[in-house]
Amino acid sequence: MNRPITTLFMLMSVDGKISTGATDELDVDQDFPQIPGLKEGLHQYYEIEQTTDLWSFNTGRVQAKMGVNTKEMPAKTPVSFVLLDNQHLNEHGVRYFCARSDTFVLLTTNKEHPAFDVDEDNLHIILQDTLSLTDALVELKERFGCERLTVQSGGTVNGLFLREKLFDYVDLVVAPVLIGGKDTATLIDGRSLLAQDELSQLSVLRLIEASTLQDSYLRLRYQVIG
């Protein structure tokens, strides 16, 4: 394979929501720890997260929502981060990920991104005229030696991975809650299929593990087979 093996790893509700609402003020990382019946078992998701791949793909929007543009600089970790971002990270946010990452790769189509003003040895920028996740993953493997990549982005970018057939595995932690709301982000958002001749763009999964966790949480692991 000329790209990394990719795993979509997410925390979601029983109805597939990855946020608690449709505004940036609502977020599972902030809200679930405050909700009786959810907070008790939430630690299991973070414990599983610590066992995922040492290359992690996310988006600037998600990270800006989590406050990286103003947070204090973190300690170095062994994880290498890839962030897709055009406008959500400021210079502080870029430096935050340089401090946190073994290797930090920014994927962007913005020639004026603040990252171009940052001089750090572990910062690398993939600048594309038009976004191509396929090309970016090939470059991650060939240029940086990325063999396995965990994707933890938002529903829209997850949808781009889906349509480009870039998921190999799906690893889900399901929280015992129903959230609802048609505008609340789901595991896979983005463009809907409109005709039968587009059905080849969906992904068929084979269940390889189903685990009942504590406090009514579940872990479901799938391999993408088509």
Calculate the alpha carbon distances from 13 to 56, 213, 219 in Å.
22, 14, 12
Q: Which two tokens stand for residue 193?
A: 């299929």
Mean pLDDT of the chain: 97
Query: Residue 24: which pLDDT band, with cuts at 50, 70 and 90?
Result: confident
Q: Which two tokens stand for residue 176?
A: 């015992």
Question: Are 107 and 85 within 8 A, CB to CB?
Answer: yes
Count of domains for the chain: 1
- The percent of residues above 70 in pLDDT, for the chain, comes to 100
| CB contact set of 36 (below 8 Å; sequence gap of 6+) | none
Query: In the prediction, which pLDDT does 1 show?
Result: 84
Whether the full predicted model's pTM is greater than 0.75, yes or no, is yes
Query: In the prediction, which pLDDT does 204 show?
Result: 98
**Secondary structure letter of residue 141 according to DSSP:** H
Is residue 214 within a helix (H) or strand (E), and if so which, with residue range? none
For residues 152-163, average pLDDT? 96
Q: 97-100: long-range contacts (C-beta < 8 A, 24 or more apart)? A: 97/63, 97/68, 98/122, 98/123, 99/73, 99/74, 99/75, 100/74, 100/75, 100/76
Helix (H, G, I), strand (E, B), or coil: what is residue 98?
Answer: helix
- Express each pLDDT in 161-200 by its tens digit: 999 999 999 999 999 999 999 999 999 999 999 999 999 9
- Express each pLDDT in 203-217 by its tens digit: 999 999 999 999 999
How many angstroms separate the CA atoms of 114 and 140, rounded? 21
Question: Are 136 and 146 within 8 A, CB to CB?
Answer: no
CATH at 159 = 3.40.430.10
Q: Which domain holds residue 15?
A: 5-224
Cβ atoms within 10 A of the Cβ of 66, count? Answer: 14
